[in-house]
Chain A
Amino acid sequence: MNATHESAITALNNYVFPNDLHVHWSMMIALYPYITGIVAGAFIVSSLYHVFKVKSLKPISRFSLLFALAFLTCATLPLLLHLGRPERNFNIMLTPNPSSAMAGFGYIYMLYGVVLLLEVLFIYRPTLVHLREKTKGLMKMIYRALTFDSTNLSPKSLELDRKIIAFLAAIGIPMACVLHGYVGFIFGGIKANPTWATPLMPVIFLLSACVSGVAGIILIYILIRVFTNKPVDTDCVRTCTNYLAGFFILDFVFEMLEVLSHSYLRTAHYHAVDELLSGPLYNSFWIGQVGILSVVPLLLLGWLCLTWVNDRLFKIGASIVSFMLLLQVMFMRWNVVIGGQLISKSARGFTEFHPEWLHKEGILTAIILMCAPLVVLFVISRIFPFWMEEMDEG
């Protein structure tokens, strides 16, 4: 941690409530909104094509759904690792407390998972039927199960599929927004914490979710295409980058609005948050999240979206911007979740957070957890072909 933080802790009048010394929600709880955010954002990319008919996004419309599915399968892992009694996790669905913002998670997550999976299965149905005919043994069994043993590809059944897909994609949008806006409300609903208790929290979480989802899609799409020696559809990447710029401008405006409006109101709330942002969080918020990872990407996005950049340069630029924005959202999660807990409820001091390497909720676990969705994505790619041209061959 930085020198400002050290001096804050050793300061004469730094008083932290005895039970506040420990940061209870650590890296796992910072990762959880990060992963669900990527899920929600990736789903929105797919919906842009399936619902809003943005034709240039066609090459990644299926990939983004699978990308969302891969991250969704890992979204509960950080929560289970965090729980003191993970074996009781089903209590949250068996005996939910209706007044708790957290109690709905199990239901929302499950419903969303069902919608996402159904949408994938219906969109891929013709492809899966073809693949079922072409494969043998275990793969044939898998395809048979995934198509519910139906090989009907008559125009009438495909038309029904199309209607079901449109319906699922349409209800998927509000559900993706609820899934992530709701995660923001889990924090925004805590009045005891001055950095969390703001009605803007769900909005900021949702917009940053869109940013991380779109950025993740752009980066992984370009990386996979380049490493598998396939052409990158620059028209598609350009459209994605435009959406990324749009979402990020909104996201950044709301993040700054939260800080600036409070700094103008100058309430007791502001004084607590100001000391946090100029003290322990100065490096990770002002320099990291705002300076390097927001202002620089904004300039880069301006260059990519407003000027004419050739295809090769655009691919590199878009990858860099996407990578930086993925980091920006991770910094934002860290600053909100862990940064917010550094303020003691005594309003007289800050505690410290030292992540451990080999802890149940430590750095190593976090790294493994962030790699897990990519492994799942690889497994999924063995079953569902990502790209249109592979399906045409099929």
Chain B
Amino acid sequence: MDREKPELNEDRRTFIKKVLKGTMAGSLLLVIPLRADDSGTSEQIPEDIPEQIPGIRGREYDMSRYRFVFIVDVTRCIGCGSCCVADKREYNVPDGNYRTWVERYIKDIDENIYVDCPNGGLDGYQKPRKDLKRPVRDTFFVPKLCNMCKDPSCVQVCPVGATFRSPDGFVLIDSKRCIGCAYCIQACPYSVRFLNPVTHTAEKCTWCYHRIRKGLLPACVQVCPTRARKFGDLNDKESEVYKILSGPGVITVLKKDMGNSPSLYYKGVRREVI
């Protein structure tokens, strides 16, 4: 007993020291705001996958160099839902929440508009809608995703600055700072945001920023069988998006009157689309 006693005391002393150190370090962590996490962007590039966006690999990434835009060509979309599946698998999106979805618009001969989006379009539109009384005049699909606004409401309202706009035009969320107040969800005119039921923080489409930084296209763009989704850099005069936006086609953005100036453009979209 006598020999054991000093050992026990030593243990207790070191234990108390460790607890004290831990408490001090822990409380410091609470006081010092977290630094933005920039790890992960300089990871090794999968060399076996060829570069999909020219001019990104093999040089230091300069944020001010790029002006990325996304174009959805509504006239090409067939409503197969591949993009939604790719997105769900890329991010493990919880059921009932959607980073991207595809809507089906139907116009009957009386000019009535019917819109639906069962399961966010994940299953594809394999069967026609049967509950309409009048003959259908026209139908089309509209994919939706984050508009990456140049004047984003979500960034404006986020009380802690967890949502921000990067110089290369991406509106992103720092999930380590988000307090889950859902103010951004209320402010987004396009309803692209949701509160992740697992992390309890806000989440939305990022245009696959982690892939862009490695020279890869967004997952939904890559899997689209009809090339209805297009992505590229407007500062690259050879890019498809530059040619489309500087060409004669009918291009618009959604909810223009909101004044958010989206970087997501729609080609061939009709006036009924909201």
With contacts A24-B182, A25-B182, A83-B180 taken as known, whether A15 is within 8 angstroms of B116 at the C-beta atoms is yes
How far, in angstroms, from A100 to B181 measured CA to CA in the complex?
A: 12
Chain A residues contacting B30 (CB-CB under 8 Å) are 90
> Chain B residue with minimal CB distance to A101?
B157
Residue B6 lies at the interface, judged by CB distance under 8 Å to chain A: no
Which residue from A24, A91, A190, A346 sits with its C-beta under 8 Å from B157?
A: A190
Binds A, one of B12-20, B188-196, B223-231: B188-196
Question: Contacts A84-B200, A84-B201 known; A102 to B182 CB distance under 8 Å?
Answer: no
A102–B120 CB distance below 8 A? no
Q: Contacts A97-B159, A100-B157 given: A13-B186 contact, CB under 8 Å?
A: no
| Nearest chain A residue, comparing its CB with the CB of B117 | A18
* CB-CB under 8 A for A100 and B177, given A13-B115, A95-B33: no
A18 lies within 8 A of B120 (CB): yes
A88 — nearest CB in chain B belongs to which residue?
Answer: B179
Distance of A86 Cα from B188 Cα, bound (Å)? 22
State whether B180 touches A191 (Cβ < 8 A). no
Instruction: List, in ascending order, chain B residues with CB within 8 A of A186's CB.
Output: 183
Decide yes or no whether B131 CB sits under 8 A from chain A: yes
- 1/0 per residue, CB under 8 A from A, across B22-52: the answer is 0000000011010000000000000000000
**B139 contacts the other chain (Cβ, under 8 Å)?**
no
Partner of B160, one of A13, A17, A91, A341: A91
A residues contacting the other copy or chain, number (CB 8 A):
43
Task: Determine whether A19 belongs to the interface, using a CB cutoff of 8 Å to chain B.
Answer: yes
Residue of A nearest to B113 (CB): A13
Q: A359 at interface (Cβ–Cβ under 8 A)?
A: no
In the complex with contacts A85-B180, A346-B274, A347-B274, A24-B185 CB distance below 8 A: yes
A20 x B191 contact (CB < 8 A): yes
Assess whether A136 is interfacial by the CB under 8 Å rule: no
Q: Are B180 and A192 closer than 8 Å at their CB atoms? A: no
Interface status of B156 (Cβ within 8 A of chain A): yes
Q: How far apart are the CA atoms of A88 and B34 in the complex, in Å?
A: 11
- The distance in angstroms between the C-alpha atoms of A185 and B205, with both chains bound, is 28
CB distance from A18 to the nearest CB of B (A): 5
Q: Considering the chains assembled together, what is the distance between the CA atoms of A92 and B160 in angstroms?
A: 5
Q: Which one of B158, B185, B186, B189 lies within 8 Å of A97 (CB-CB)?
A: B158
Which of B181, B188, B258: most chain A CB closer than 10 A?
B181
Across the interface, name the chain A residue whose C-beta is closest to B161.
A97
Chain A residues with CB under 8 Å of B161's CB are: 95-97
Residue pair B98, A100 in contact (C-beta under 8 Å): no
Q: Which residue of B lies closest to A17 (CB)?
A: B191
Q: Which residue of A has the minimal Cβ distance to B195?
A: A84
CB atoms of A191 and B189 under 8 A apart: yes
With A24-B182, A92-B160, A102-B157 in contact, do A345 and B177 touch (Cβ < 8 Å)?
Answer: no
Among residues of B, the one whose C-beta sits closest to the C-beta of A340 is: B186
Tell me the complex Cα distance, A95–B161, Å.
7
Q: A24-B185, A344-B191, A345-B191 are in contact. Are A19 and B98 (CB under 8 A)?
A: yes
Task: Give residues of chain A (342-365) contacting chain B, Cβ–Cβ below 8 Å.
Answer: 344-348
Chain B hits for A189, CB < 8 A: 157
Question: Please, how many angstroms separate the alpha-carbon atoms of A52 and B245 in the complex?
Answer: 64
Question: A20's closest neighbor in chain B, by CB?
Answer: B191
Q: How far is the CA of A94 from the CA of B30 in the complex (A)?
A: 10
Question: What chain B residues lie within 8 Å of A13 (beta carbons)?
Answer: 112-115
Is B70 part of the contact surface with A, judged by Cβ < 8 Å? no
Q: How far is the CB of B159 from chain A (nearest CB, A)?
A: 4
Tell me the smallest distance from the CB of B138 to a CB of chain A, in Å: 15
- Do the beta carbons of A19 and B178 come within 8 Å of each other? no
B101 on the interface (CB 8 Å rule)? yes
Say yes or no: A100-B274 contact (C-beta < 8 A), given A12-B131, A189-B157. Answer: no
Contact of A82 among B178, B181, B201 (CB under 8 A): B181
Is the C-beta of B97 less than 8 angstroms from some C-beta in chain A?
yes
Interfacial chain A residues near B159, Cβ < 8 Å: 92, 96-97, 100, 102-103, 105
Once the chains bind, are B117 and A15 in contact (CB under 8 Å)? yes
Q: A111 → chain B, closest Cβ, in Å? A: 17
Scoring A18, A95, A100, A102 by chain B CB atoms within 10 A of each residue's CB, the highest score goes to A18
Q: Given A84-B180, A102-B183, answer yes or no on A191-B190 (Cβ-Cβ < 8 Å).
A: no
- Of residues 192 through 251 on chain B, the ones whose CB sits less than 8 Å from some CB of chain A are 192-195, 199-202
Question: Could you say which of A84, A94, A102, A192 contacts B33, with CB atoms under 8 Å apart?
Answer: A94
Is A263 interfacial (CB-CB < 8 Å)?
no
| Bound Cα distance from A19 to B121, whole angstroms | 13
Chain B CB within 8 A of A99 CB: yes
Cβ-closest chain A residue relative to B196 = A84
Besides A84-B182, A95-B161, 8 more A-B contacts (Cβ < 8 Å) are: A15-B115, A17-B117, A18-B117, A19-B185, A19-B192, A24-B195, A348-B113, A348-B274
List A residues at the B interface (Cβ < 8 Å). Answer: 12-13, 15, 17-22, 24-25, 82-86, 88-92, 94-97, 99-103, 105, 186, 189-193, 341, 344-348
Top 8 A-B pairs, shortest CB-CB distance: A84-B180, A84-B200, A15-B115, A102-B159, A192-B189, A17-B191, A24-B182, A97-B161
Complex A-B: 6 CB contacts under 8 Å: A21-B96, A24-B185, A100-B157, A100-B159, A190-B187, A191-B258
